[in-house]
Structure 1
Amino acid sequence: MILLSFDIEEFDMPFEYGKTLPFEDQLAISTEGTLKILALLKRAEIKATFYCTANYAQHRPLIIKQMVDEGHEIASHGYYHSDFKPEHLLQSRLKLQEIAGVEVTGYRMARMMPVDEAEIERAGYIYNSSINPTYLPGRYNNFSKPRTWFYQQNVLQLPSSVSPIIRFPLFWLSFHNLPMTVLKWLSSATYAKDGYLNLYFHPWEFTDLKQPERFGFPGYVTRNTGNAFVERISAFIAWAKNKGYPFGTTGSFVQHINMKAG
C-alpha cells in the first residue's frame, strides 16, 4: 500500500532562511497548496492522511471539514509548527477532534524532530510517524533506527520510507530533484522490500516558491514546485496505480497491522 501524507501547517519555513512572513500569508499559502492537493486526490480517486497543526485547523476549520467530508484522515502535527511543549500532544489531538468531529489517532512531530514516546502514548495516540530513518546533515542521523514499522512504548512507529541498503530518503525533496525514472526505480525497490511506501509532502510545495526575495529558498527547494509539482505527483500516482499498488490512509494501514499483531 502507498500511504500519501501531507503536513498541513502554518508556512513558517522562510524563517529558517532569515525571512519573515505575516501569519495571514502563512495561512494563505498553505491553504492554496492544500486545495490543490485535495483536487489532485479527488481526480485520482484516492485517500490520504493530513497531519494538521491545531493552530492551522483553528484558523481554517472549513478546510479541515472538507478533508473529512472527502474521506481523508486527520492526524496531529502538533499545536504549532515552530513551538512545542509536551502538553501540546494531548491539546492538539483534542482540538483537532473538536474541529474535525472525528477521532485522531496519529501524530507526526514538526520537522521530524525527536519526541518522547512515553508522552505520545499518554496523549492517546495509536501511531507515530515522526522518524526519517536516514542521515540528513544539520537535521538528524537516524541510521540506528529501524527502516520499517516497529513498536515502541505501545505505539506503532511508522518511519518515512527510505530505500533498502543505502537508505536513500523517498521524501519531499527527492520528489522535487530526482529524475522520475530514478524515483520510480527507488520506489519500486522499496515497495518490493517493505510491502508499502510511507511518503510525506507539504502544501506549500504545490505553490510558487520561486520568490527569492520573499522566501530565500535555495534551488533544490524551489525546483519543480507549484503546478509542476501537481503534475509530478499526479504522474507518480498514475504510474503506481498502473503497477497495481493500492493507496490508503495511514490510519487504515496501522489498524490492519495492529489487528494482525493481535
Structure 2
Amino acid sequence: MQTSPIRNAMTIDVEDYFQVSAFDSHIPRESWPSQPCRVERNIDRILALLDEGGIKATFFTLGWIAERYPAMVRRIVDSDHELASHGYAHRRASDQNEDEFMDDIGRSKALLEDIGGRQVLGYRAPSFSIGTRNLWALDALRQAGYRYSSSIYPVRHDHYGMPDAPRFAFYPNGRDGLLELPITTVRVMQRNLPAGGGGYFRFFPYQVSRWFLRHVNRHDRQSGIFYFHPWELDPGQPRQKNIGMKTRFRHYVNLDRMEGRLKALTRDFRWDRMDRIFLEKA
C-alpha cells in the first residue's frame, strides 16, 4: 500500500560493475572492453521490474555503455523512460578541467540523443562529483544544453558530498540557470543522513529506508530522489580480488536482497521520471 500521494523520482545510474569509481585503481580503463559485461541483462531485469509496477524512471546512462548497447538504450526509450546522461566514461567531474568536462558532457549528450532519438535534459556526475570546488561545472552543463543536474549529495562522505548544499531542488545561479536536484537526505540532529538509495539502501534494513522516504514526503512535503545501479541486482557478478575490506563491503553487501527490497519500494511509494516531477514544476 502506497504511503504518500507525492511522486518520487526513480533513477538508475547505467554503468557496469567494473566501472565503479572504487575500482579505478584495480581495473584499468584500457581493460574495460575485455571485461565480461553484464549490464544488458541487468537492465532487462530492471525494465521488467518497473513494468510490473507500472513505473516510469530516469536512466542516467554512460555514453560508453550506450555506444556498445544501442538496442538496450532504445528499449529504455521505447518503454517511455527518460534517457539522461551520466557522462561518457565515468570520469569524475572533479578530476576534469573545464575543457575536458565540456567535451565529456557534450559528447555523451550528442551520443545519447542520436541513439535514443530524444532530447537529453538531465545529467548526473559520476560519484556525485560536483561540489564546492567545481561549481563551475553547473554553468558548463547549462551551456551544453542541459536543463537539470542531479550531481550534488548534501552529506559528508569520504569520496563525495557537499553537506551545506540545499537539501531540495534549487537554482545555484538563478532561475535562468541550471536546476540542481540533490539526492535525498533526512535531517536528524543537525545532520543530513543519506536517504536516496545506493549502498545505503542495501546496508540499512528496508524499514529504515522506508521511514526516511516517508518522512521526506510527509514532513518535508517534498519528492524524494532514489538511485541505484544495475550491478546492484547482480550477486553473480565477477568478484574483484585484492581490494580493501571497506570497498569490498560497500560494493557487495546484500546484493542478493536488492531486488526484493526494490519491489517493496515500488509498492510502498509513487514513482515517476525526473523530468515529469521537477521540470513540469519549473
TM-score band by shorter chain is: 0.7 to 0.9
Equivalent residue in structure 1 for 2:141, among 117, 120, 128: 120
| Cα distance, 1:211 vs structure 2 | 5.2
| TM-score, L = length of structure 2 | 0.82
Cα shift readout 1:136-157 (whole Å, capped 9, x = no counterpart): 12x1341110000001241110
Q: Which residue of 1 aligns with 2:194?
A: 169
Show the counterpart of 1:243: none
Q: 1:219 aligns with which of 240, 246, 249?
A: 249
- Show the counterpart of 1:156: 179
Distance of aligned partners of 1:26 and 1:212 in 2 relative to their CA distance in 1, 3 Å threshold: closer
Alignment of 1:182-193 (within 5 A): 182-192=208-218, 193=220
Change (3 A) 1:215 1:112: farther
TM-aligned CA deviation for residue 25 of structure 1: 6.1
Partner of 1:144: 164
CA–CA distance in structure 2, aligned partners of residues 156 and 58 of structure 1: 27
Matched, 1:4 2:10: yes
Question: Is the contact between residue 40 and residue 234 of structure 1 (CA under 8 Å) also seen in structure 2?
Answer: yes
1:201 lines up with 2:222 in the alignment = no
Q: Is the 8 A contact 1:164 1:190 kept in 2?
A: no
Instruction: Give 1:209 deviation, angstroms.
Output: 5.8
Residue ranges of structure 2 left out of the alignment (5+ in a row):
1-6
Identity of aligned residues (%): 26
The offset of 1:24, in angstroms, is 4.3
| Counterpart for residue 50 of structure 2 | 41
Structure 1 ranges of 4+ moved more than 6 A:
none
Unaligned 5+ segments in structure 1 are 241-245
User: What is the CA RMSD across the aligned residues, in angstroms?
Assistant: 2.1
Give 1:72 deviation, angstroms: 0.3
CA distance in 2, matches of 1:221, 1:38: 22
Of 103, 121, 126 in structure 2, the residue corresponding to residue 105 of structure 1 is 121
* Cα pair 2:9 2:272 within 8 Å, conserved: yes
Partner of residue 15 from structure 1, selected from 6, 14, 23: 23
Aligned partner of 1:257 in structure 2 is 281
Normalised by the length of structure 1, the TM-score is 0.88
Deviations 1:172-207 (A, max 9, x none): 111101111111111111222142110111111111
Are the equivalent residues in 2 in contact too, given 1:148–1:194 (CA < 8 A)?
no
